[in-house]
Structure 1
Amino acid sequence: MPSTAEKRAAFRKLHDSGCFVIPNPWDLGSAIALQKMGFKALASTSAGFAWSIGKPDNHIALDELCAHLTALCGSVGVPVNADFENGFSDQPEGVAANVTRVTKTGIAGLSIEDSTGDKSKPIYEEALAVERIRAAREAIDAGRSGVLLVGRCEAFLWGMPDLKFTIDRLQAYAEAGADCLYAPGLKSKDDIAAAVKAVHPKPLNLLIGWPGLSVAEAAELGVRRISVGGALARVAWSGFLRAANEIAENGTFDGLGAGHPGGELNGMFAV
């Protein structure tokens, strides 16, 4: 098992060139499976983890997330990027304290988003949003952890599909110290290419949680890394709910025939 320092160094190197996929496991089994498929890095998913413990997204506690990330990092030999939501604090000093804490879980990267969780005012004012990224940067540097910082603009996900607004935010986060930029919700090739150009030479993370661009197509646009958010967890839940609903509603078990062979699963997780 590589050391935490080795994982962090490898993670940074992945961002130097090319395009890689950083899929999102929601528990230890899915993390181990993805590593065995050959993925070079993984990212946690706040939604997928929340559903796995019976909560809606954005309702997990910091203690729960840190325990989850510690377990994930300890179970795989590849770097793990943390979906750290809004830093679990509105204020920069709170973000800094929480970032200091989460870097001790063994993560190689973490993202800080600018969504408030308040539907009436979903995105932080720019000055505060930038200070939150700067606080995260200073906390990482003070700890000398080498954790990679991702600045996220959530505008497209909150009904604000304003490309200029999003690009302005990404550039501001880059200037505040973000190593990688991320605007979930970008879909059109033109928007993606514009965002890539705007943050260059820093890398852009693209969310693909629906059928769309291929890895090759995203790479041609200059995307450096691709994540899938809670999409893999949603696919898993879809199969579970379909089969369980059939049993509950019809008293039949046909859906169980689509299950993956247990012997293969045991083999995949064999020590």
Structure 2
Amino acid sequence: MDTFRELHTADAPLLLPNAWDVGSALAFEAAGFAAIGTTSFGISASTGLPDGGGSTRAATIALAALLCRLPVHITTDIEDGYSDDPAEVADLVAELADLGVVGVNLEDSRDGHLVDPAVLAAKVAAIKRHSPDVFVNARVDNFWFDEEATVQAVLLRALAYADAGADGIFVPGVTDPVDIRSITAGIDLPVNVLAHPTLTVAELGALGIRRVSSGSLPYRAAVDAAVNVAVALRDNQQTPAATSYWEMQSRLEAFSD
């Protein structure tokens, strides 16, 4: 199996589905995905909490401990590292690496606003000193929160994170193909975006993207699907086909063994 780093240099972009629990991860693994990420939104929502603010720390560690038993690469969304102290963030990543996690997403915002890029750069540098083999995907949130949402501003932050040792750059929220092409042309590291509303993974690859994350889309689509099933039952309509109880049960039995 290719290493997680090698998956970013294949002919096609790495498509990374993001799981929120063991059941979703087992389904992604059964579908043949070589790597699975976690989604902070999906994890927080499934526990009744809003995304952000460090609400997913304990649940993410617990889920990672389970998912690393799967024969796939596991990378985790750790928000901003749940701390302003680079040493504490580095310790967390080392703990995750000991579990078998191969990568982390680390964002440069807090409470919906950008932070000084030096803050994230210091965290990246601390992680790479202690866990050099972990793939650090530095998230640049300018477009996501519509603050300093220009290509040049993104590139300035990305350069600071690359200099600190980041292995990849994640730019959620960028959707314009011209902006995407300009960002990938200006960054020597693999660039990651969220699944695009109008561009396919192949089209994103042609723009220079090396990794496409589903983000919370599968979780949100799953909630919509659950509501649609209930509404269909209520309205005496035919329900959609679904993976059988026995198939899902067999996956869980195999996993628990």
* Gap change, CA 1:164 and 1:187, over 3 Å in 2: same
Q: Confirm or deny that 1:67 pairs with 2:53.
A: no
Cα drift, residue 102 of structure 1 = 2.1
**What are the Cα deviations for residues 131-184 of structure 1, in whole angstroms up to 9, with x where unaligned?**
12212222213xxxx221111111111122222111111111111100111111
Paired residues of 1:171 and 1:198 also in contact (CA < 8 A) = no
Cα drift, residue 129 of structure 1 = 2.6
* Gap change, CA 1:186 and 1:255, over 3 Å in 2: farther
Aligned match of 1:57 in 38, 51, 57? 51
* Gap change, CA 1:154 and 1:268, over 3 Å in 2: farther
Paired residues of 2:140 and 2:154 also in contact (CA < 8 A) = yes
Cα drift, residue 39 of structure 1 = 1.4
What is the TM-score with the length of structure 2 in the denominator? Answer: 0.88
Which runs of structure 2 are paired with 1:127-166 in the superposition (5 Å)?
Answer: 127-141=118-132, 146-160=133-147, 161-166=149-154
Aligned match of 2:223 in 233, 237, 248? 237
SS in 2 for 1:158: coil
Paired residues of 2:229 and 2:239 also in contact (CA < 8 A) = no
Q: Confirm or deny that 1:34 pairs with 2:20.
A: no
* Gap change, CA 1:189 and 1:155, over 3 Å in 2: same
Which runs of structure 2 are paired with 1:194-209 in the superposition (5 Å)?
Answer: 194-200=182-188, 202-208=189-195
What is the TM-score with the length of structure 1 in the denominator? Answer: 0.84
**What are the Cα deviations for residues 61-85 of structure 1, in whole angstroms up to 9, with x where unaligned?**
42221111111111x2110111111
Q: Aligned partner of 1:207: which letter?
A: L
Q: Confirm or deny that 1:125 pairs with 2:108.
A: no
Paired residues of 1:33 and 1:268 also in contact (CA < 8 A) = no
Q: Which moved more, 1:260-269 or 1:89-98?
A: 260-269
Q: Which moved more, 1:123-132 or 1:168-177?
A: 123-132
* Structure 2 unmatched ranges of 5 or more: none
* Structure 1 unmatched ranges of 5 or more: 1-6
Q: Aligned equivalents of 2:62 and 2:82: distance in 1? A: 15
Q: Aligned equivalents of 2:6 and 2:193: distance in 1? A: 18
**Counterpart residue number, 1:80:** 74
Equivalences, count: 250
Q: Aligned equivalents of 1:17 and 1:262: distance in 2? A: 34
Q: Aligned equivalents of 1:224 and 1:95: distance in 2? A: 26
* Gap change, CA 1:254 and 1:81, over 3 Å in 2: farther
Paired residues of 1:186 and 1:206 also in contact (CA < 8 A) = yes
* Gap change, CA 1:169 and 1:255, over 3 Å in 2: farther
Q: CA RMSD in A?
A: 2.2
Q: Percentage identity across aligned positions?
A: 30
